[in-house]
Amino acid sequence: MKDIDVLVVWPIRPDQMAVLEQTYRVHRYDLASDTEKAHMIDTIGEQIRAVVTTHGGGFEKSLLDRLPNLEIVGCASVGFDTLCVSDCQARGIPVTHTPDVLTDDVADMAMMLLLATLRRMLPAVDWIKQGHWVAQGMMPLNTSLKGKTLGIVGLGRIGQAIASRAEAFGMNISYYSRAKKTDVSYKHYDDLMTLAKDVDVLAPVIPGGSATQGFISREVLTALGPDSYFINVSRGSVVDETALVELLAQGAIKGAGLDVFVDEPNVPDALLSMDNVVLQPHCASGTFETRAAMAQLVLDNLSAHFGNKPLLTPIQ
Ligand code: 8YV
């Protein structure tokens, strides 16, 4: 398959990149300057049969339109809000993503944010480092997970993995989705505002993109109340981030654990100085093991396509 031209818009893990380079004729669009990118597409755009990218690298229609013989896009992420999926599918080009292999790490991140936020782990570290323990004694009390209600918005694979973890910590689980799930016993809400009023912690676990832009609105956040928390491991775009920052600053929400933001890698300055938030740099799937599995899934999908076999994880 060395005669198959693959455009790398964003690289996957080094081990899998080595296999990609050994197997296909790889063009490193990611390493090219803007001038070199334009020349690359001008000269070999017609040869490109596959694209490899990630959520961070994305794949835009302007580039798709320059690849007349593209057959498949492999993306190393479960979310695909930065890819022109519908435009690809309109041309009969499948786009593959990486569900399931990252579910546990993302759910672990949600629990880490939950625990660190409610138990105020980072202020506790400062309590020691700043000498407060010596000078003032025990730090102020914080909040148990046990007995609290976690409201999950969108009970998909990752949402259900978070729910089962939270249950193990003694939390009650409620969820919002358009349709009630028949395979779970958690309390279902078909109204987001009512869920927000009833829970202690709200966690959206829904895809990014225009359909969910600002889905967790200022009104929903306000309905949470001053003793509640917000946890986000999905996409920054699903929440009114401006409202979230204001409500956190006002104490209208008690705290937040955030792995995703609207304008990554830029995080609102106000969040950087708050002691009631735990911030992570969109690294929920950022382990050696999971990123290797995601990268391998990209390779496996390309291999299936060019081997005329069914794709493993095409976006439907
Ligand atoms: C990655 C993600 O952190 O899979 C996704 O949708 O957001 C994460 O796995 C992301 O792909 C990094 O750019």
What is the band of 1 on the pLDDT scale with cuts at 50, 70, 90?
confident
Indicate the burial class of 253 (C-beta count within 10 angstroms; 0-12, 13-18, 19 or more): buried
Neighbours of 188 (CB within 10 A): 15
| Cα 80 to the center of its chain, rounded Å | 10
Q: What is the pLDDT of residue 282?
A: 98
| Cα 205 to the center of its chain, rounded Å | 9
Residues belonging to the active site: 235, 264, 282
What is the band of 126 on the pLDDT scale with cuts at 50, 70, 90?
very high
Token digits of residue 153? 């918005």
3-state DSSP call for residue 96?
A: strand
Average pLDDT over residues 218-235: 98
List, for residues 256-284, the tens digit of each pLDDT value: 999 999 999 999 999 999 999 999 999 99
Q: For a pocket test of ligand 1, which of 97, 98, 102 has the largest count of ligand atoms closer than 8 A to its C-beta?
A: 102
Average pLDDT over residues 202-208: 98
Which residues have a Cβ under 8 Å from the Cβ of 316 and sit 6 or more positions away?
none
Name the amino acid, one letter, at 165. R
Q: E-strand spans in the chain?
A: 5-8, 25-27, 48-54, 72-76, 95-96, 149-153, 172-176, 187-189, 201-204, 229-232, 255-258, 277-279
Which atom of ligand 1 lies closest to the CA of 80? 6
Which residues have a Cβ under 8 Å from the Cβ of 55 and sit 6 or more positions away?
75, 76, 77, 79, 80, 81, 82
Q: What residues form DSSP beta bridges with 153?
A: 176, 204
Which residues have a Cβ under 8 Å from the Cβ of 291 and sit 6 or more positions away?
12, 13, 76, 285
Which atom of ligand 1 lies closest to the CA of 98? 4
Q: Whole-angstrom Cα distance, residue 190 to residue 175?
A: 9
Distance 188 CA to ligand 1 centre (A): 28
Q: What is the pLDDT of residue 30?
A: 98
Q: Quick check: 81 pLDDT over 80? A: yes
Average pLDDT over residues 98-102: 98
The CA angle 126-128-133, to the nearest 5 degrees, is 120
Q: What is the pLDDT of residue 291?
A: 98
Model confidence pTM above 0.75: yes
Which atom of ligand 1 lies closest to the CA of 56? 13
List, for residues 54-75, the tens digit of each pLDDT value: 999 999 999 999 999 999 999 9
Q: What is the pLDDT of residue 154?
A: 97
Which atom of ligand 1 lies closest to the CA of 291? 9
Residue minimizing CA distance to atom 2 of ligand 1: 77
What is the band of 211 on the pLDDT scale with cuts at 50, 70, 90?
very high
Token digits of residue 286? 């950022």
Q: For a pocket test of ligand 1, which of 55, 96, 103 has the largest count of ligand atoms closer than 8 A to its C-beta?
A: 55
Distance 137 CA to ligand 1 centre (A): 41
CA distances from residue 144 to 83, 84, 114 in whole angstroms, order as listed: 40, 43, 10
The CA angle 182-186-189, to the nearest 5 degrees, is 85
What is the band of 249 on the pLDDT scale with cuts at 50, 70, 90?
very high
Q: Cβ distance 34 to 12 under 8 Å?
A: no
Q: Cβ distance 173 to 186 under 8 Å?
A: yes
Q: Is the CB of 54 under 6 A from ligand 1?
A: yes
What is the band of 314 on the pLDDT scale with cuts at 50, 70, 90?
very high
Distance 19 CA to ligand 1 centre (A): 22
Q: For a pocket test of ligand 1, which of 54, 80, 260, 290 has the largest count of ligand atoms closer than 8 A to its C-beta?
A: 54
Q: Cβ distance 176 to 153 under 8 Å?
A: yes
Q: Is the CB of 82 under 6 A from ligand 1?
A: no
Q: Cβ distance 201 to 229 under 8 Å?
A: yes
Query: What is the length of the chain?
Result: 316
Q: Quick check: 309 pLDDT over 90? A: yes
Average pLDDT over residues 224-253: 98
Q: What is the pLDDT of residue 120?
A: 98
3-state DSSP call for residue 290?
A: helix
Distance 79 CA to ligand 1 centre (A): 7
Distance 284 CA to ligand 1 centre (A): 8
Q: Which residues of 150-163 are buried (b: 16+ CB within 10 A; e: fewer)?
A: bbbbbbbbbbbbbb
Name the amino acid, one letter, at 66. R
Average pLDDT over residues 106-131: 98
Q: Whole-angstrom Cα distance, residue 171 to residue 186?
A: 11
